[in-house]
Amino acid sequence: MTDRKKILVLYADAGFGHRSAALAVEAAINEIYGDRCQVEMVNPLEDKRAPSLLRDTQSDYDKMVRSMPDLYKFGYQASDAVIPSTIVESALTVMLYEVMRDVVRRSRPDAIVSTYPLYQAPLEAVFTISRRYIPMLTVVTDLATVHRIWFNDAVEQCLVPTARVRELAIDAGLRPRQVQITGIPVHPELTRETRSPAAIRSELGWRTDLVTVLAVGSRRVEHLAGVLRILNHSGMPIQLAVAAGGDEDLFEELKNSHWHVPTHLYNFVENMPALMHAADLILCKAGGLIVTEALACGLPLILTDVIPGQETGNAHFVIDGGAGDLGETEIEVLEILFHWLQNGGELLSRRAQNAHNLGRPHSAYVVADLAWDAAVRGPEDRSHRHIFGRPRLLDLLRTYHIPWVERQPSDNS
């Protein structure tokens, strides 16, 4: 047997989506190519050399988008242009060059998959300095409103979730052959669940004769408790299943509430695929991950929260596709659910069918195949090629006293 290929998957913990997409890709690669391929998962921002500005963004992400939403939106929009994004890429190169160089040298991958937008520019610098290009795939994790920083021309392929994002990538300068629509990778477990909703509900101890509303919270979801209170007193024939997403305050508040409808409370769950397949609809924020997973399950969405910036596009994607509605207040959510359930649930059925049509449950397998193909092709030696922009890059690193080493003939990193 030939040597096993090595695929390096890079992610970050700024929100749940980047890590979850990476885990989905890892699982799909292991399932299909596990006997021929090794996958290594790395979060470069865990390296102590990564500036605190970037490392703290992971832990403070929730606080930032909630306490300063207008500032977050302004920063997102202001940097989403050619000149500002170029400046940001130069800064990222200075801040992360050493970390990325050492990650690549230690891992020695045949291909790289990145689910986070801040790594492409530093990786391009590593390839340029070393004169050794490693096939790199970027997996975009938002459905419609996507920051320009995602679209780096050094990637072999930019894997996007929708036709709209493909247009954005091409407008940003990527060649059409570089951009492929794959959907956002969702964990293969979502496709492995084949039991009927009634069977899953019975196993979970839920009622099988009521419309089941799955509500998913987290520290970034506001007003969920208020929405659940009004549904609890709505008199509608529903049951609630609530996953607090690790929000301890919300979980304690819900546990201490008096419920008038059958309600099943969970804090942090590890069986979300089963919960989604058991439900009739979901209440959630407009995050790329939760929206993609719901659509992959054919689950219609009532969106209760939209963070300005990338989540605005996610919400429009769901609403314009007829797979859900936006309820920004408790009363609006109540009205939406009432309309969905009247006339024997006619509108709910239409929303579910539209969600099914938009979903891409096998996206992780598509990405896995592309990553494997890239690994088979493997790295390319460019030591005898003139690389445009290399002198400018070296000047940038020297200016900021970033150590770099010319690649020696025996150095395969």
pLDDT at 383: 75
Question: From CA 334, how far away is CA 337, in angstroms rounded?
Answer: 5
Supply 59's token pair: 């832990």
Domains of the chain: 5-186+362-399 (3.40.50.2000), 193-358 (3.40.50.2000)
What is the mean pLDDT of each successive set of 10 residues along the chain, which is 413 residues long?
86 83 96 96 92 63 50 45 62 88 95 95 90 95 86 94 94 95 94 93 96 86 87 96 88 93 92 95 92 96 86 93 95 97 97 97 97 96 73 75 58 38
pLDDT at 323: 98
Q: Give the 3-state secondary structure of residue 302.
A: strand
pLDDT at 218: 75
pLDDT at 75: 45
Owner of token pair 């492995």: 192
pLDDT at 380: 92
Owner of token pair 């099943």: 264
Q: Give the 3-state secondary structure of residue 274.
A: helix
Q: DSSP of 200-269, one letter per residue?
A: HHHHHT--SSSEEEEEE--TT--SHHHHHHHHHTS--SEEEEEE-TT-HHHHHHHHTSPPSS-EEEESS-
pLDDT at 413: 36
pLDDT at 85: 57
Q: Across the strands, what pairs with 285?
A: 305
Type of residue at 221: V
Question: From CA 370, how far away is CA 269, in angstroms rounded?
Answer: 31
